Structure 1
């Protein structure tokens, strides 16, 4: 996915990231997976390091099949910022939480099914951690 198309980044931040060599979401994950990489991106773009970390975490969640920018935002709003956090969640409890959060914030018009949430959690359990803190 092109970096400018990722939910929450947009054109202004996207242009800054593109100028720093981040044109795709995968570039953001690769270049921002370490604290030093995020510091470098923050320096080169003028974007706050905390904002870059938020996007890197959301990009990390999109490694899970079926999780795109909207579901990664929904997970983050529900307190699940990383693949590591997702793998430790109870799927039923997570489904309840994302339903509650979505009813409040209207992040998506189409929630994942309980079966999908269980699949997301199970896949997260198979992934190696990518982001360092």
Structure 2
């Protein structure tokens, strides 16, 4: 079993402070980025499309964004429930899957069925940690 330990400093990609040794070097426990590496500031970050699930009262907005921090800042919500890797096609698939729960636009009643789906996504990790991991994987590719 690999033990996560405090990194010498924050991860330059996600800001995480826990890490583990992999092949002699430190890697962030949150996103997997190798400690000390810095993304090239002259290159744009890779595009990471996510489907987001936002709760506001007993409703959930299912939307998509390639810039989730900006997008979520512009939407009134109580809680970010989950991220799912994918773009417009995945979003439309979820809209069809939960069509019977649609209240209007991209808003759906937060039913047991939708809650179960979100719980399954949450089992993979906290949304922003998943996003950091996906970004790290895309940068390494």
TM-score by length of 1: 0.24
- 1 or 2, which has the higher strand percentage? 2
Q: Point out the structure with max Rg over C-alpha.
A: 2
Structure number with higher helix proportion: 1
With structure 2 as the length reference, what TM-score do the two structures score? 0.23
